[in-house]
Amino acid sequence: MLSQWFLVGPGRCGLQLARAMAVVGLRVIGIEARSRAASGRARRACPGVPVYGPDEALPPADAILVAVPDWALGTCAAALGPRMDPATKIVLHTSGLAPASVLASLSRAARSVGSFHPLVSFPSATGPAVELDRVVAAVDGDAVAVRAARHLARALGMRPVYVPPEAKPRYHAAAAMAANLTHILVATSKDLLVGVGFSERGAAEALRPLVRGAVEAAAAARGIENLTGPLARGDAQAVQAHLAALPEGAAAAYRAVGRLALIALTSQRLLSESQIQRLERALTVIP
């Protein structure tokens, strides 16, 4: 039973996970923070949990969860090794892109290493708790670490899914397109509505049911048969009107996503050949 964890990296992901762990009875026995701001954030999010500096020896724990940026994982692992208690044998990182082998310096010291990536967005570290029930946790690593990652996922009510190291870049790209790029598109759409007279709050309230409905329809579909709007109808005139009305950056995004839609519409034979050709011309011609 892995009941005592140590957290390295008090950012949004790490602190949200630490808070969720405390709720289900997994004890976070310490948090490493590398700055005064990070220390304060850790104390606000997890009151009563000791905060350690980057040069202090770490307490014995069942496992360590490393929630630092991808580019820092290798150097972080090298710095952790000499400071870890001999009783601590398992280290997981939270990257969706990097394989477990990025912690190779720890595996060479007879420690089990793996990854545990929650497939969910964490907007803030100290704001409302993010719902983790049934959220996928992508895991990889050696056998002992994968068991630990699965245990953590199930304790949090999440669904562990093994993602092979070589598949992680595509897995993470899919996650970024679905979440990060959608965020950007919605934020851009809000700005466009504000530009035609909506208040910022009004724009958000107007888009919320539209975006939720689109996401649910996409998630429920086998392909893009639930797509609505001018692309789904083959309405090239509407597409041309949209592109003429959009600023350059938004128009470029519209064209890029529209071309992805055309590939799917063609492969699934949801439009006629003439409709596809008209849409291709509409997406190619710059007003």
The residue whose two tokens read 């907007």 is 123
Element (H, E) at 37: helix 36-45
**Helix ranges (DSSP H) in 177-284:** 182-195, 200-220, 230-233, 236-245, 248-267, 273-284
* Structure-block tokens of residue 118: 């929650």
Alpha-carbon distance of 141 to 49, in angstroms, equals 28
Alpha-carbon distance of 67 to 137, in angstroms, equals 14
Assigned CATH class of 4-163: alpha beta
Cα Rg of the chain (Å, integer): 23
What is the phi/psi pair of residue 110, to 5°? 65, 30
Strand-pairing partners, residue 113, are: 91
What does the longest C-alpha to C-alpha distance in the chain come to? 69
Whether residue 157 contacts residue 134, with contact meaning beta carbons closer than 8 Å, is answered with yes
Element (H, E) at 63: strand 63-66
pLDDT at 247: 95
CA 52 to chain centroid, in Å, comes to 27
Alpha-carbon distance of 96 to 117, in angstroms, equals 5
Alpha-carbon distance of 128 to 15, in angstroms, equals 12
Whether residue 279 contacts residue 263, with contact meaning beta carbons closer than 8 Å, is answered with no
pLDDT tens by residue, 167-219: 999 999 999 999 999 999 999 999 999 999 999 999 999 999 999 999 999 99
Torsion angle in degrees (nearest 10) through CA of 154, 100, 59, 132: -30
Q: How many CA atoms lie within 13 A of 1 on its CB side?
A: 5
pLDDT at 79: 94
* Structure-block tokens of residue 60: 């014995």
Query: Which parts of the chain sit beneath pLDDT 70?
Result: 1, 287
Q: pTM here?
A: 0.91
Element (H, E) at 172: helix 168-176
Which residue ranges make up each domain of the chain?
Answer: 4-163, 166-220, 223-287
pLDDT at 287: 62
**Strand ranges across the sheet with 51-52:** 51-52, 27-32, 4-8, 63-66, 90-93, 112-118, 136-141, 159-162
pLDDT tens by residue, 56-76: 999 999 999 999 999 999 999
